[in-house]
């Protein structure tokens, strides 16, 4: 993950209010800057860059889609932490910053109606209900594409909203999904998958496959420590629906989501 180029948005007010814990009166946290405004301030992004959010120092947080080292991304948080919002922001950022020849995405979810507001542009490969045959076919087709993909400059985001849902798919589909988790990023297929922190026990065997974990708000300290290691207790202080944190080189990088 990298940050790049500072911009002059009013994220400072968000940070100040969040950090001002000694104030005798609580202040309402202002709305985050819109995604369109943030991206306008940043300017054009490199073809390989996926916008993830705004760091507390005002820098954009970017994922290099041409560097497979981070591996698949697991987005973890309590119910209401903003996991679905995070995936939807990624999709909209792709539509606003990249051509469909550079980046496309497909979505697997138990709740396809939640994605009706994400435009059906040529970037969008489809919205697939988790337990229907179309999901199995989509994962199979992505696996076949990734096996054959040696020189293509295109990257595909596999956005899965709820790891637990896909963990119940048929054995052949699960084998393909495991291959995508292990080899996908090196072949330009990037699984980005959410997980309900409270239910991590249902998917324990899958969690070690994720080298990079992005955390939303997790209230229970023991769950945060189990999933994020030491110093993860601060995850309860994140603003639900707006703020996330990831561990990078033994340090925690907090960032905000623009509003969509």
Task: Judge whether 186 and 150 are in contact, CB under 8 Å.
Answer: no
CB 213 within 8 A of CB 83: no
Q: What is the pLDDT along the chain (260 residues), one digit of tens a residue?
A: 665 444 433 344 344 434 443 444 445 556 678 999 999 999 888 889 999 999 999 999 999 999 999 999 999 999 999 999 999 999 999 999 999 999 999 999 999 999 999 999 999 999 999 988 899 999 999 999 999 876 678 999 999 999 999 998 999 999 999 999 999 999 999 999 999 999 999 999 999 999 999 999 999 999 999 998 877 768 999 999 999 999 887 789 999 999 98
Residue 2: other Cβ atoms inside 10 A? 13
Q: Which residues 6+ apart lie within 8 Å of 195 measured at CB? A: 74, 75, 76, 83, 162, 163, 164, 203, 207
DSSP-derived 3-state class of residue 205? coil
Average pLDDT, the chain: 88
pLDDT in tens, 182-234: 999 999 999 999 999 999 999 999 999 999 999 999 999 999 999 988 777 68
Residue in 174, 147, 121, 202 with CA at minimum distance from that of residue 106: 121
Are the beta carbons of 206 and 174 closer than 8 angstroms? Answer: no
Structure pTM? 0.89
Q: What is the pLDDT of residue 29?
A: 57
* Nearest of 86, 128, 85 to residue 214 by alpha carbon: 86
232 Cα distance to chain centroid: 18
pLDDT for 170: 94
- List all residues 6 or more positions away from 249 whose beta carbon is below 8 Å from its beta carbon: none
Domains and CATH numbers, the chain: 2-256 (3.40.50.300)
3-state secondary structure 58-105: CCEEEEECCCCCCCCEEEEECCCCCHHHHHHHHHHHHHHHCCCCCEEE
Let me know the angle formed at the C-alpha of 129 by 115 and 103, rounded to the nearest 5 degrees: 60
């Amino acid at each position: 993950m990298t940050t790049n180029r500072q911009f002059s948005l009013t994220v400072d007010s968000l940070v100040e209010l969040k950090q001002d814990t000694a104030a005798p009166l609580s202040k309402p946290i202002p709305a985050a800057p819109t995604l369109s405004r943030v991206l306008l301030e940043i300017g054009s992004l490199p073809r390989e860059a996926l916008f993830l959010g705004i760091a507390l120092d005002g820098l954009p947080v970017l994922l290099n889609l041409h560097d497979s080292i981070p591996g698949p991304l697991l987005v973890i948080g309590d119910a209401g932490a903003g996991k679905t919002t995070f995936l939807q922001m990624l999709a909209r950022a792709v539509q606003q910053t990249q051509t469909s020849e550079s980046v496309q995405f497909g979505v697997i979810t138990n709740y396809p109606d939640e994605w009706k507001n994400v435009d059906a542009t040529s970037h969008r490969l489809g919205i697939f209900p988790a337990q229907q045959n179309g999901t199995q076919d989509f994962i199979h087709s992505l696996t076949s594409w990734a096996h054959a993909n040696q020189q293509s400059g295109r990257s595909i985001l596999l956005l899965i909203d709820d790891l637990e849902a896909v963990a119940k798919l048929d054995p052949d589909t699960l084998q393909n999904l495991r291959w995508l988790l292990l080899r996908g990023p090196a072949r330009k297929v990037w699984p980005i998958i959410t997980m309900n922190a409270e239910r991590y026990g249902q998917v324990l065997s899958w969690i070690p496959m994720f080298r990079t974990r992005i955390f939303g708000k997790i209230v229970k300290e023991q769950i945060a420590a189990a999933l994020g290691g030491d110093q993860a207790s601060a995850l309860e202080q994140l603003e639900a629906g707006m703020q996330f944190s990831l561990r990078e080189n033994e340090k925690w990088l907090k960032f905000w989501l623009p509003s969509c």
